[in-house]
Amino acid sequence: MNIAGSNVLIVNADDFGQSAGVNCGVIRAHEHGIVTSASLMVRWPAAEEAASYARTHPALSVGLHLDFGEWACRDGDWSPLYRVVDTCDAAAVREEVERQLSEFRRLLGREPTHIDSHQHAHLQEPVRTIVVAAASGLGIPVRRCSAAQYCGDFYGQGEGGWPYPEGITVASLLTILERLPGGMTELCCHPGEGDDLDSMYRLERSTEAEALCDPRVAQAIDASAIQLVGFARYRELAGN
């Protein structure tokens, strides 16, 4: 299929498996909202629960959300909450990518539909080259390195971690949909429920879930003839 001139939208929920609350938000936004895809963090205890759901709900595309660590801005300074591996060490990164891919296969019993990473760590070298090579071998896309245009506008914080609640309203989401470019777009989101994460992005997750499940959003997608799909259809629609 040639997607030029058409609007194909993948709504991908990051951090699936990071906590029970995140799992609840992702599942709710899939079953009652517009989420078609999720990226699984395999290192966390709630990954087993997320994988169990995914195995019995194939309509939800599930990819790998590579986790190399997390940084948070607190009191004006960025500092690591945790570090999995030194992302400047190519050998360590390659080993960790393979380890997380192997864990994904164990959990899901198949390959991921796509790959991205926590806090976009894969966009820096040498991680980018290693991740793109791994994904190429599997024939799957990597965020910001594929035919799918990336949209991260649906987010409730600014670059320095300051609150930006207007970014995750229904009105904001409707504006994003109105301005979708032609072709294929990945809209990133972070739905969740409760407050069970030690993360700088917590309370915003339930607001995201509410907006993603608002019936006006689904109605706007239908009215605009936007084709809502998961990453499982990426190769078919991108012509790869």
Q: For the domain that residue 184 is a member of, what is the CATH number?
A: 3.20.20.370
Question: Given this model, what pLDDT does residue 223 score?
Answer: 95
Question: Given this model, what pLDDT does residue 2 score?
Answer: 45
Report the predicted TM-score, pTM, of the whole model to 2 decimal places. 0.94
Q: Domain tally for the chain?
A: 1
Question: Given this model, what pLDDT does residue 4 score?
Answer: 46
Q: What is the pLDDT of residues 106-120, one digit of tens each?
A: 999 999 999 999 999
Range of the domain at 50: 7-238
Mean pLDDT of the chain: 94
Question: Given this model, what pLDDT does residue 160 score?
Answer: 76
Domain assignment of residue 1, yes or no: no
Domain assignment of residue 2, yes or no: no
3-state secondary structure the chain: CCCCCCEEEEEEEEEECCCHHHHHHHHHHHHCCCCCEEEECCCCCCHHHHHHHHHHCCCCEEEEEECCEEEEEECCEEEEEEECCCCCCHHHHHHHHHHHHHHHHHHHCCCCCCEEEHHHHHHCCCHHHHHHHHHHHHCCCECCCCCCEEECCCCCECCCCCECHHHHCHHHHHHHHHCCCCEEEEEEECCCCCCCCCCCCCCHHHHHHHHHCCHHHHHHHHHCCCEEECHHHHHHHHCC
Q: What is the pLDDT of residues 64-98, one digit of tens each?
A: 999 999 887 776 677 788 899 999 999 999 999 99
Q: What is the pLDDT of residues 169-211, one digit of tens each?
A: 999 999 999 999 989 999 999 999 988 887 888 889 999 999 9
Question: How confident is residue 240, by pLDDT bands cut at 50, 70 and 90?
Answer: low
Question: Given this model, what pLDDT does residue 14 score?
Answer: 98
